[in-house]
């Protein structure tokens, strides 16, 4: 019998920002593929609900409520997952925020908040998990959720674009440095994905028309579109892929 190339049985994944939206869908998708899952979010009630869903699939779930902008806490969070699971095979850096502002109106506080979670926390989470993966000697997968706006500009998103472009380049640097340890580092860069958090601006007729005008497939993404890309990069099917930014953008960046 041929092995399922997308089977994650026996693997342990950690997903940040996993209380809702894309992060929740990714955590559940990894569990459906066979992985046990560590969850990180700031909201305990959301984490508990996702944990229950993962356990209902017959997988183990461990939840840690934390603010990842407090980067000094990240090594302790990672150690907690290692104690619970024994090791970590997959990290999905999904936690992120966006504060749309005209460039003339961007505040220092907004800039710092975006950079602190989108770029700084993602790097130090990868660093801490990477250290564990190197110590364990098992290899691993690190997947950063970035954005199409890490490659192309979008109005009112100077700080957001900068944070995601930075994470794309961090992805490539980590791929270069950690390839000798069998750690593959990639990014998934989605277009606009329909979630509770994006509902307000995606329902604006003017913005919707603008966004779909750049979209070759003429539809916004769903969380399942992102889940499929993450499972591919987490699985044996992508064993020769590292340092890559996988665009899940309906062709937005093709022109």
Domain coordinates in residue numbering, the chain = 12-195+222-243
Give the per-residue pLDDT at 2. 63
Per-residue pLDDT of the chain (255 residues; tens, 9 = 90+): 467 999 999 999 999 999 999 999 999 999 999 999 999 999 999 999 999 999 999 999 999 999 999 999 999 999 999 999 999 999 999 999 999 999 999 999 999 999 999 999 999 999 999 999 999 999 999 999 999 999 999 999 999 999 999 999 999 999 999 999 999 999 999 999 998 878 888 888 998 998 899 999 999 999 999 999 999 999 999 999 999 999 999 999 998
160 noted as active-site residue: yes
* Residue 2 in tokens: 């041929």
Rounded CA gap, 178 and 187, in Å? 15
The one catalytic residue among 160, 181, 210, 232 = 160
The secondary structure of 150-214 as a DSSP string is: GTS--TTBHHHHHHHHHHHHHHHHHHHHHGGGTEEEEEEEE--B-STTTHHHHT-HHHHHHHHHT
CB neighbour burial string for 214-233, b if at least 16 within 10 angstroms, e if fewer:
bbeeeebbebebbbebbbbb
CATH class of 12-195+222-243: alpha beta
Give the per-residue pLDDT at 108. 98
Rounded CA gap, 84 and 19, in Å? 19
């Amino acid at each position: 019998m041929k092995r399922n190339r997308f089977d994650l049985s026996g693997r342990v994944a950690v997903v940040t920002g996993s209380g809702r939206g894309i992060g929740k869908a990714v955590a559940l998708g990894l569990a459906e593929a066979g992985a046990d899952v560590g969850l990180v979010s700031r909201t305990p009630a959301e984490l508990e609900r996702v944990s229950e869903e993962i356990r209902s699939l017959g997988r183990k779930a461990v939840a840690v409520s934390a603010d990842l902008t407090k980067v000094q806490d990240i090594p302790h969070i990672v150690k907690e997952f290692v104690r619970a699971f024994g090791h970590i095979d997959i990290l999905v850096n999904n936690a992120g925020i966006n504060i749309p502002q005209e460039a003339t109106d961007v505040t220092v506080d907004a800039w710092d908040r975006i950079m602190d979670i989108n770029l700084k926390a993602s790097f130090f989470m990868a660093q801490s998990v990477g250290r564990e993966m190197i110590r364990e000697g098992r290899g691993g997968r690190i997947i950063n959720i970035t954005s199409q706006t890490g490659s192309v500009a979008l109005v009112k998103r100077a700080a957001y674009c900068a944070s995601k472009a930075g994470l794309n380049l961090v992805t490539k640097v980590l791929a270069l440095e950690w390839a000798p340890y069998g750690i593959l580092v990639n990014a998934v860069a989605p277009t606009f994905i329909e979630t509770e958090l994006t509902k307000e601006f995606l329902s604006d007729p003017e913005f919707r028309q603008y966004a779909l005008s750049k979209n070759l497939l003429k539809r916004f993404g769903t969380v399942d579109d992102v889940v499929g890309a993450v499972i591919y990069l987490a699985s044996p099917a992508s064993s020769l892929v590292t340092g890559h930014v996988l665009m899940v953008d309906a062709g937005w960046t093709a022109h």
